[in-house]
Structure 1
């Protein structure tokens, strides 16, 4: 086999190993059951309730910070149904509002709807973590693309929630978000 053939074979092998690592050992390799025994127990009705302050960053496809933001949320629950209103302020001067309509199943399942989602978001809360997967349509001024999103929220012992989200287009990660959410005492 000539050098070009060996080079192409090596590149294909490295790509395959990278994709396997990403799928089984990376962000997408975790499942809610991995966190089932962890304490404290994450209950969205308790930990995402009332006024909440959020701070975070969005990383672009090359891993550099593309945007920083703060958010003010207000969440209220009536049994297993809740509404969370979010208001974001970005370092660009832009702002964004979103209203999540949430429903929790007795088995820890999560169903979420928002006006910019394409279909419902589905997830699961287990132990100290919760995962939500959905498709979101970006605003027209951001290209109007539809992205697949996986949100993971991890509950810290002090009640702070760490949120890590990945945004993908055609299976390729195009952005990542890391944020901290904490309840504001009334």
Structure 2
């Protein structure tokens, strides 16, 4: 093999290695530590949006999440009630099983098969296939979901949605506990369309 071909092969290997994306292990030891069964116990509020791959805002929504942790079964149940800006409402129920100190599996309406998750430090990476209605058809799209716990208690979420390896768009969410909102507003509870 000539030196030029060897150099080209090496460059290609570096480019492909750089396309590997983030690794949840890179967040090991970061604080505050994210333990989802603790964070999502009780009520959590969230606000989110979906941007398509061109950066256009396509949807906005609010979510009220009620979480229950069953210690004996090592199972977290999340009841998510979505209210979209156009008035559409949707409920999704997640059943998440803790399978190890830092690993989880999950099922929910619309999820194809089982979601796989791993937490390290302040971060959770959650990957799954979702059956997304598009017009008269349903597309099986992949979610690469990253959640980052912040020092003030907010949980930031960025999910890349793709099909056949091509990015379709991104979902961004901010999760907050109601008591944190009350404290930020000078003990005046904030109202949301999704809250009861």
Shorter-normalised TM range: 0.7 to 0.9
The gaps in structure 1 that reach 5 residues or longer are 1-15
What is the deviation of 1:143? 3.6
The 1:140–1:176 alpha-carbon spacing in structure 2 relative to 1, beyond 3 Å, is closer
3-state DSSP class of the match of 1:118? strand
Q: Distance in 2 between matches of 1:22 and 1:98?
A: 35
Tell me what 2:88 maps to: 94
3-state DSSP class of the match of 1:68? strand
**TM superposition outliers: structure 1 runs of 4+ over 2 Å:** 19-24, 139-143
State the TM-score, normalized to the length of structure 2: 0.79
Q: Distance in 1 between matches of 2:90 and 2:135?
A: 12
| Counterpart among 25, 31, 41 of residue 33 in structure 1 | 25
Q: Distance in 2 between matches of 1:53 and 1:41?
A: 20
Tell me what 1:23 maps to: 19
Q: Distance in 2 between matches of 1:178 and 1:21?
A: 26
Q: Deviations over 1:23-77 (max 9, x none)?
A: 23xxxx1111010010111000111111111001100121111111111110110
The 1:22–1:94 alpha-carbon spacing in structure 2 relative to 1, beyond 3 Å, is farther
Matches within 5 A, 1:1-186: 20=16, 23-24=19-20, 29-79=21-71, 80-139=74-133, 141=135, 143-185=137-179
What is the deviation of 1:85? 0.5
What is the deviation of 1:107? 2.7
Q: Distance in 1 between matches of 2:132 and 2:149?
A: 28
1:49, 1:183 within 8 Å by CA — same for their partners in 2? no
